[in-house]
Amino acid sequence: MKIPDKDRLAQLRETIAYHAKKYHEDQAPEISDEVYDALLQETLKLEKKVEGKSTSGVADGARANGAFAKVKHQVRQWSFDNVFSYEELQDWESRLNRILAEADRDGEFIDFVCEHKIDGLKLIVEYKDGQLARASTRGNGRVGEDVTHTAKTIKTLPQTLTAEVDLICVGEVWLGVKDFETLNKAQEKAGENTFANPRNAAAGSLRQLDSQVSAARNLSLTCYDIDHFEARKTKLAVPETQWEELQLLQKLGLPTSKYAKRCKDLASVQKHYESLVPKRDGFSFAIDGMVIKVNRVDQQHLLGYTAKGPRFGIAYKLPAEQVTTVVQGVTLQVGRTGVVTPVAELRPVLVAGSTVARATLHNEDFIKEKDIRVGDTVVIQKAGDVIPEVVEVITSLRPGSSTSYRFPKKVAGCGGDGSIERVPGEAAYRCVSLDSDQLRRQRLYYLVSKHAFDMDGVGPRIVDQLLDADLIKNAVDLFTLTIDELEPLEGFKEQAAKNVIEAINKSKEVELHRLLIALSIDGVGEETARVIAERFGSLETLASASSDEIAAIHGIGGTIGEAAFAWFRQKENKDFLAALTPHLTIKNPAKRTATTLTDQTFVLTGTLETLTRDDAKKLIRQAGGKISSSVSTKTHYVVVGSDPGSKADKATELGVKTLDEASFKRLVS
């Protein structure tokens, strides 16, 4: 379902205008900056496609509030264009070189100054004879608001410079991450609305009529540009480069970024940017990218401005963790246990550094709750290793002919006639019959995987070859294969056949929990299998256990207990185990010695520097702990790596103790 480009463009412009007002004027954004950027990027592309040029006919900043005196800026305040990839950055540099060439300065050396793009509120500060005269917001770039009374409460903004000069400088007012959290807690306690992000908190704090409110919020300022400078009677030189501007600001007593860096070429810029990405959440202030400026002021003047912003500078945005895209269809994915999961087929989009074309829709209730339809523009997110998911629908961009999604009665991939049914008491659908070829293959793929039998080198491709050649019909047949049977297969030579047989033979000695994982019992994943194996100690004991005995294990519950109990009672499964187990040596779990961490629950989020996820889990188990995939009040520790997901925020919200990698290693060692 696709609406005409012209209609889509009109919808986008209306939507952007609405959200620009919510952001700039109302200080109450309804979408993240990343989502706004994504909508704006699509608008610019469609403008070129439909109208032949980007008119940028969207909101440009905020109107001045009547509660504050208006300030007409002596120097227009611009916003930088954005780039989102190195290729786009290279295109920008090519445009710079082309303009210089047209001015008979072809091949002239260009170096750059890079600064973190702080997510705050732009402030224009004026000094006369070294004394603070006025501070104003950007507004619409030409007219802003006089906020001198609140700006004076910023501790890092000097009232008097170190020299009696006339100066107009530009900086970013920001609220520290910790101060932001403290402020929101205070707002919540007082029954007031909380702020969506540090940027809006800073803006709301600066645009107060009562300066005492601003003073209590601990605002900070970082200066990064000089719009006007007169040395007057001092001997200070007019800066000839951006780097010299930063040095002069420091000399005059104004705060600048300690992270600013000169880069000799674009490759150095990219290297600096790549080093910034993994550190994005480690700064005391919020950042959303890196600002890159041509260093030499004479080159800046020559490069000039477009109708939208300076040609000599660009904002290189960090990889978005939230973006917008369009749902082009919904497919139903049949898992190895027969559970049917809806998946959104998306217009491909770059999110968190990788291209995403699909996102889980979880189940029927999730689709209904968010009212997700084919043709919808949706916000998707992906943080760290989290599977992409749909966060919300932008209904203002919905096609008029869209209809609610309904699950079909039959799905290809299920057994029998393909019928599906909703699981009683759950939001999930499942196949009525599990005897399809697709399900058989999926169960075998999982059985040979590293989480189950760990048959190194035996993956889905080889499993398919063995099935297609009728060498195996089920997992039991894997353990009776010979080298002679494998060698005639395409791509197999003597050594390859030997390697496969060796991997299969090695896997015959299997830990009990790995065997349970391999059986594809509904609801029994890696951690659940370990808990069950440790509780019952042997396959025989488990097979004779009642559903209540299984369900009684902490963290298991009735649904999994009933599923496991039913699995071991089905005749085909009994026959399968009777044929399989003679080929195996099952290693039952050793009895654990109680420690201070016994039965303590850990959750892992983000990427650890020196440990893989499997390494960290192994350390937890060795210490007697348990691993969970979700944070709750019953969680004891959340181990936080770089680029953590929402689990870290959930831990803070619930008061669960968080550990960095070093603290975690000390605890479990």
- Tokens 């339809």, located at residue: 373
Question: For residue 284, what pLDDT is reported?
Answer: 85
Check pLDDT > 80 for residue 494. no
Question: For residue 622, what pLDDT is reported?
Answer: 79
| CATH code of the domain occupying 70-317 | 3.30.470.30
- Tokens 């303590």, located at residue: 600
Q: Report the share of the chain in percent with pLDDT over 70.
A: 95
CA–CA dist 184, 169 (Å, integer): 30
Kindly state which CATH superfamily the domain 601-668 is placed in. BRCT domain (3.40.50.10190)
Tokens of 15: 């939507």
Pairing, β 322-334 against β 339-351: antiparallel
Tokens of 601: 């629950």
Per-residue pLDDT reduced to its tens digit, 22-40: 766 666 677 777 788 788 8
Per-residue pLDDT reduced to its tens digit, 139-151: 888 898 899 999 9
pTM as predicted: 0.62
| CATH code of the domain occupying 5-51 | 1.10.287.610
Per-residue pLDDT reduced to its tens digit, 289-328: 999 999 999 999 999 988 778 999 999 988 777 889 999 9
Average pLDDT over every residue of 244-271: 95
**Are the C-beta atoms of residues 555 and 626 closer than 8 Å to each other?**
yes
Written as one letter, the residue type at 627 is I
Per-residue pLDDT reduced to its tens digit, 182-209: 888 888 888 887 777 788 888 888 888 7
Sheet containing strand 626-628, edge to edge, reads 626-628, 601-605, 637-640, 657-659
b/e per residue, 198-215, with b = 16+ CB within 10 A? Answer: bbbbbbbbbbbeebeebb
**Are the C-beta atoms of residues 387 and 354 closer than 8 Å to each other?**
no
**Are the C-beta atoms of residues 59 and 17 closer than 8 Å to each other?**
yes
Residues carrying CATH 1.10.150.20, the chain: 437-587
Point out the least confidently predicted range of 270-284, 288-302, 408-422.
270-284
Q: Which of 226, 225, 245, 248 is nearest to 235 (CA)?
A: 248
Average pLDDT over every residue of 31-55: 79
Question: For residue 594, what pLDDT is reported?
Answer: 62
Output 630 or 27, whichever has higher pLDDT. 630
Tokens of 315: 């904002």
Average pLDDT over every residue of 554-558: 78
Tokens of 401: 């002919």
- Alpha-helical runs (H) found in 207-315: 211-215, 242-251, 266-276, 297-303
Task: Please state, rounded to an integer, the average pLDDT across all residues of the chain.
Answer: 88
Question: For residue 481, what pLDDT is reported?
Answer: 94
Say which CATH class 437-587 falls into: mainly alpha
Check pLDDT > 70 for residue 58. no
- Tokens 């030579």, located at residue: 493
Which stretches of 53-165 are assigned E, i.e. beta strand?
70-72, 82-83, 112-118, 121-128, 131-137, 143-145
Residues carrying CATH 1.10.287.610, the chain: 5-51
CATH 3.40.50.300, applies to 322-422: no
Burial class (CB in 10 A: 0-12, 13-18, 19+), 545: buried
Question: For residue 54, what pLDDT is reported?
Answer: 62
b/e per residue, 415-454, with b = 16+ CB within 10 A? Answer: beebebeebeeeebbbbeebebeebbebbbbbbbbeebbb
**Are the C-beta atoms of residues 147 and 229 closer than 8 Å to each other?**
no
**Are the C-beta atoms of residues 633 and 596 closer than 8 Å to each other?**
no
Which positions are catalytic? 117
Check pLDDT > 60 for residue 55. no
Tokens of 141: 């770039």
CA–CA dist 263, 266 (Å, integer): 7
Question: For residue 272, what pLDDT is reported?
Answer: 94
Question: For residue 139, what pLDDT is reported?
Answer: 85
